[in-house]
Structure 1
Amino acid sequence: MAKTCQLVMLSLLSFSAFISVMAEHQPFMSNASLKGKKQTHLRFFWHDTLSGSNPTSITVAKPSNANTSAVFDFGFVNVFDNPITEGPELESKLLGRSQGFYTDASQNTEPFQVLFSSLNFAFTEGKYNGSTVTVLGRNPILSTVREMPLIGGSGVFRFAEGYALLHTHRFNPQTRDAIVEYNIYVWHY
């Protein structure tokens, strides 16, 4: 029994020494990630087109109990590959594409209908060419201004964090086509 206690104590001391050495060489948390970041403000327009002969957004799932009076119905899912442009006109300078999906994840439409949105913005123009940012979260679409979290990026925006402010520039309730202005504030290295 005494031998077992000694072995346990020796093992615990060895483990404590190992943890102490590891903590010295690889700290659990480091403030280095907070240093040296810069902020970039991105402003562009997202064109979500469900109508016409060449839609960029399509409904891939519809609930069986759809409410025809609602803009969107709880449970529907849309997948998109939308252009993002410098101005609100579709003919303005193309900055890239946005791929992702949105779904009505709220059973209650009061006071606002709420979508859950996953958007990957892939830039094809200028110094951000080949870089991406990802926005993911709750989108109460009828609010004047919405805020969504930016959860990451690639290329120039590697290790990105930040937020997006969304404002609907134009919406057609009959076709559900929308143009949304995005102001994204990105902190990155």
Structure 2
Amino acid sequence: MERGPIITCILILSIATLPVYSQYYSKTVPYDPKPEKITNLHFFFHDTLSGKDPSAVLVARANISSDDSALVPFSSVFAIDDPLTVGPELTSEVIGNAQGLWVSSGKDIPTLVAFFDFGFTKGEFNGSSISVFSRNPISETERELAVVGGRGKFRMARGVAQLKTYFLNVTSGDAIVEYNMTVIHHQD
């Protein structure tokens, strides 16, 4: 007599009758909204692709791109660690950095999809950050990105970042972008 099928049946029946001791939920509590605050921020974003110490670096690119002569061919993925400054000059006071990725996602019109975390290292918002995830049609001088979250003083953030190209070197791809952000977030 084979014991294999009998033992298998006993194990299946034993497991099926065991009570479930874990749950994937927590007690539902009434929503108690915290007071919200609106913060307006103004700074400059320095995206440097050229030189010995670039702040944006190509990390991936499909080998099927149709226009290899484009500065940022379709499907290019760049990792960034771009300084954020008070003024448009790189020598201006640095207040933080934007870290993340941008992907060249436009085949016909130069467009990026931006995944950035703006981390602030100075002043009232030191240690806090704002997250952006949005389409960025870079050929438009003025455009906007969605603010989708934050941490620290920007916990539960939402809002919009209005961008204006301040400087663009079409040969190197280096750019300085002016940011005006309106952020709605919980008060501390």
Aligned pair partner of 1:26 in 29, 36, 60: 29
The two structures, once aligned, show a CA RMSD in angstroms of 1.5
In 1, Cα distance between equivalents of 2:131 and 2:112: 16
Deviations 1:49-88 (A, max 9, x none): 1111111110111232442442321101010111000000
What count of residue pairs does the alignment treat as equivalent? 159
In 1, Cα distance between equivalents of 2:58 and 2:173: 11
Q: Which residue of 2 aligns with 1:163?
A: 160
In 1, Cα distance between equivalents of 2:29 and 2:64: 55
1:70-149 paired onto structure 2 within 5 Å: 70-109=70-109, 113-149=110-146
In 1, Cα distance between equivalents of 2:69 and 2:137: 18
Q: Which residue of 1 aligns with 2:174?
A: 177
In 1, Cα distance between equivalents of 2:125 and 2:29: 33
Q: Which residue of 2 aligns with 1:154?
A: 151
Offset at residue 36 of structure 1 (A): 2.0
In 2, Cα distance between equivalents of 1:107 and 1:124: 36
Q: Which residue of 2 aligns with 1:19?
A: none
In 1, Cα distance between equivalents of 2:98 and 2:132: 10
Does the 8 A contact of 1:47 with 1:84 survive in 2? Answer: yes
Structure 1 residue runs of 4 or more that deviate by more than 6 Å after TM superposition: none
In 2, Cα distance between equivalents of 1:63 and 1:176: 19
Give the secondary-structure state (helix, strand or coil) at the position aligned to 1:79.
strand
Q: Which residue of 2 aligns with 1:5?
A: none
Under a length normalisation based on structure 1, what TM-score does the superposition of the two structures give?
Answer: 0.79
Share of identical aligned residues, percent?
Answer: 42
In 1, Cα distance between equivalents of 2:54 and 2:108: 28
Under a length normalisation based on structure 2, what TM-score does the superposition of the two structures give?
Answer: 0.80
Q: Which residue of 2 aligns with 1:60?
A: 59
Q: Which residue of 2 aligns with 1:7?
A: none
Does the 8 A contact of 1:37 with 1:188 survive in 2? Answer: yes
In 2, Cα distance between equivalents of 1:170 and 1:108: 22
Does the 8 A contact of 2:62 with 2:76 survive in 1? Answer: yes
Deviations 1:87-125 (A, max 9, x none): 00000011001101101112222xxx1110111000000
Instruction: Answer with 100-109 or 161-170: which moved more.
Output: 100-109
Structure 2 unmatched ranges of 5 or more: 1-26
Amino acid in structure 2 at the alignment position of 1:26: V
In 1, Cα distance between equivalents of 2:185 and 2:135: 23
Q: Which residue of 2 aligns with 1:47?
A: 46
